[in-house]
């Protein structure tokens, strides 16, 4: 099969012939129709997580997929050949910038029936992130107030819709060009960061989802009420994350120090700070698929690239200007073909 991989950290992403995957116990093999690019693909390429999540090189990048099951391993019973599925592979089994992948069936869900492969591929990582922040960790309830930073980004566009579905009042930050988009997704309060300071306008919030840098992270503390939750997916990782991944003593100490400043500031304000590193979960994806088919959540796609243009798709995300998601079409999408 063909796939895009790196041979060294910060090295070029190149197309090469790779061995066809075979399913182990509990695995299925998926013929990938589409994948999408996420900022974590850039970070993995550049080795930003090599101390805590070392990768075996050469490394096939890619964290999202939609496709069709073509083989089933021993003991795998949830899916059959021909099923249309979508998924985020477990973090130590990524590699969706390829024609096929072997993946644990526990990480898969049936694709939303209302979406084509291209649209479905845009969802797994960002939708799981939004779910695990808002439903699992923050346990958002009707009437609460939630601030979502970078509302026009991949995670932000889904998190706004999910938070509204949960009954929250939603504020979101974005740039001038994306104010209308963010409002159309359901944000009650839209902060144009080019002309407004969210920390001056907002107060009494229950939850903040941070996707940005240290300055925004620290200023977000001021909008939370006592007992509020500041949840960051952009760092810094905290000691709880170190325990979660079974880090060694040195890494645990490094992560303790990296997050010490924000944890201390949070404690002084009576606020809880935590770092979330999204995990694969097919059961949660199945719940997300129901919301998509019910019209609660819709994907937002900035651009679709051909498989051969995968490096250009990476560059588009790296520019930081994409609204929603950038998708790579690896095989023909029947839904797209019918509509063209």
Residue 171: pLDDT over 80: yes
Q: pLDDT by residue (tens digit) across 291-319? A: 999 999 999 999 999 999 999 999 999 98
d(CA 300, CA 305): 15
d(CA 119, CA 295): 14
Residue 20: pLDDT over 50: yes
58 CB contacts (<8 Å, ≥6 apart)? 5, 6, 7
d(CA 260, CA 187): 32
Q: 205: pLDDT confidence band, cut at 50, 70 and 90?
A: very high
The distance of Cα 296 from the centroid of its chain, to the nearest Å, equals 18
Tell me the average pLDDT across 210-234: 96
pTM beyond 0.85: yes
Residue 17: pLDDT over 60: yes
d(CA 75, CA 14): 35
Residue 155: pLDDT over 90: yes
Q: 198: pLDDT confidence band, cut at 50, 70 and 90?
A: very high
d(CA 101, CA 121): 14
What is the model's pLDDT at position 233?
96
Q: 340: pLDDT confidence band, cut at 50, 70 and 90?
A: very low
Preceding amide of 58 cis, omega within 30: yes
What is the model's pLDDT at position 339?
34
Mean pLDDT of the chain: 94
What is the model's pLDDT at position 333?
56
Q: 79: pLDDT confidence band, cut at 50, 70 and 90?
A: very high
> Which domains are delineated in the chain?
2-123+299-339 (3.90.180.10), 126-275 (3.40.50.720)
Q: pLDDT by residue (tens digit) across 96-105? A: 999 999 999 9
Is residue 27 within 8 A of residue 55, CB to CB? The reply is no
Q: pLDDT by residue (tens digit) across 318-338? A: 988 789 999 999 987 554 433
Better pLDDT: 107 or 241: 107
Residue 247: pLDDT over 90: no
Q: What is the 3-state secondary structure (H, E, C) of the chain?
A: CEEEEECCCCCCCEEEECCCCCCCCCEEEEEEEEEEECHHHHHHHCCCCCCCCCCCCCEECCCCEEEEEEEECCCCCCCCCCCEEEECCCCCCCCCCECEEEEEHHHEEECCCCCCHHHHHCCHHHHHHHHHHHHHHCCCCCCCEEEECCCCCHHHHHHHHHHHHCCCEEEEEECHHHHHHHHHCCCCEEEECCCCCHHHHCCCEEEEEECCCHHHHHHHHHHEEEEEEEEECCCCCCHHHHHHCCCCHHHHHHHHHHCHHHHHHHHHCCCEEEECCCCCCHHHHHHHHHHHHCCCCCCCEEEEEEHHHHHHHHHHHHCCCCCCEEEEECCCCHHHHHHC
Preceding amide of 4 cis, omega within 30: no
What is the model's pLDDT at position 287?
98
d(CA 310, CA 196): 36
């Amino acid at each position: 099969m063909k796939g895009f991989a790196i041979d060294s950290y910060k090295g070029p992403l190149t197309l090469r012939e790779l061995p066809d995957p075979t399913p182990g116990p509990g695995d299925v093999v998926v013929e990938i129709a589409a994948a999408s690019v996420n900022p974590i693909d850039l970070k993995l390429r550049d080795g930003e997580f090599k101390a805590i999540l070392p990768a075996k090189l050469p490394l096939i990048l890619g964290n999202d997929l939609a496709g069709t099951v073509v083989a089933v391993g021993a003991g795998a019973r949830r899916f059959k050949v021909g099923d249309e599925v979508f998924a985020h592979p477990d973090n130590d089994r990524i590699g969706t910038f390829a024609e096929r992948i072997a993946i644990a069936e526990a990480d898969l869900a049936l694709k939303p029936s209302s979406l084509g492969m291209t649209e479905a591929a845009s969802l797994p990582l960002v939708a799981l992130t939004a779910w695990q922040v808002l439903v699992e960790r923050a346990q958002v309830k009707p009437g609460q107030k939630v601030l979502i930073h970078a509302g026009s980004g991949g995670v932000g566009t889904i998190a706004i819709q999910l938070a509204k579905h949960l009954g929250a009042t939603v504020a979101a930050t974005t740039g001038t060009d994306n104010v209308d988009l963010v409002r159309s997704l359901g944000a009650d309060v839209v902060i144009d960061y080019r002309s407004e300071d969210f920390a001056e306008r907002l107060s009494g919030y229950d939850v903040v989802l941070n996707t940005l840098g240290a300055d925004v992270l620290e200023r977000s503390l001021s909008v939370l009420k006592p007992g509020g939750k500041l949840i960051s997916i952009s760092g810094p990782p905290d000691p709880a994350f170190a325990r979660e991944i079974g880090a060694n003593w040195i890494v645990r100490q490094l992560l303790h120090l990296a997050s010490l400043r924000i944890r201390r500031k949070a404690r002084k304000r009576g606020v809880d700070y935590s770092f979330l590193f999204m995990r694969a979960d097919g059961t949660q994806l199945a719940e997300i698929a129901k919301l998509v088919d019910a019209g609660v959540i819709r994907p937002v796609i900035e651009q679709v690239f051909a498989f051969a243009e995968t490096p250009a798709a990476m560059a588009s995300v790296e520019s930081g200007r994409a609204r929603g998601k950038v998708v790579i079409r690896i095989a023909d999408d029947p839904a797209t073909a019918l509509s063209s």
